[in-house]
Amino acid sequence: MDFFFFIGTIISFVLTGYIIWSHGIKPKITNIESKDVERFRDEVSKLITEFNRISNTNINILEDKIEDLKNVIKLADDKIIRINSRLTDLGILEHRHQPPVTEEILSQSEQTQEVKEPPRPRIKPLSSRATLDEKRQRIDELVRAGYPIEEITKAVRMSKSEVQLVLGLKNKR
């Protein structure tokens, strides 16, 4: 923002100087010596050179900052891809741990249907103001108690992916 203000100020000075020069000063200075005119031209030339140098410096700084931002965005994109990949892996791992359903298992389940487990108590959902630590603790408790992920997600008010991520991160510790 300061850069554009600086450029606008310089342009304003140059235009103002030109207008003053062409309408007011030029007719009056016809008697001024050519030495003075040359000295004035040299000063204006130095100012223009300095302005160009400062402009180029500022442009280079801006280009460096743009490149830095592009690198930060690339790093963030890479991290997002890795997190999504890990979440997908966690989802795949969950499905791998479930035994395949075969006829033998179906016949065994028919035989064992007579023995029913007592119903589990309903899980009271956490408050919407619960902290992440409270949610992690509740997830651990419910996993130890044998509740399925679908019920855990409702109890802690998180998505299935978030619960799987918490469990995956806990297992890596």
| Per-residue pLDDT at 104 | 58
| Per-residue pLDDT at 103 | 58
| Per-residue pLDDT at 108 | 58
For the chain, count helices (H), then strands (E): 7, 0
| Per-residue pLDDT at 24 | 62
Read off the tokens for 45: 């030339």
- List pLDDT tens digits, range 69-121: 888 888 888 888 888 777 777 766 555 555 555 555 555 555 555 555 566 67
CA dihedral 152, 155, 160, 163 (to 10 degrees): -70
| Per-residue pLDDT at 92 | 62
d(CA 50, CA 53): 5
- List pLDDT tens digits, range 19-58: 776 666 555 555 556 778 788 889 988 988 998 888 888 8
| Per-residue pLDDT at 9 | 83
Q: Who wins on pLDDT, 145 or 31?
A: 145
CB-count exposure of residue 160 (10 Å: 0-12, 13-18, 19+):
middle
CA 127 to chain centre: 29
Segment (H or E) for 10: helix 2-20
pTM as predicted:
0.33
| Per-residue pLDDT at 11 | 86
- List pLDDT tens digits, range 146-163: 888 888 888 888 888 888
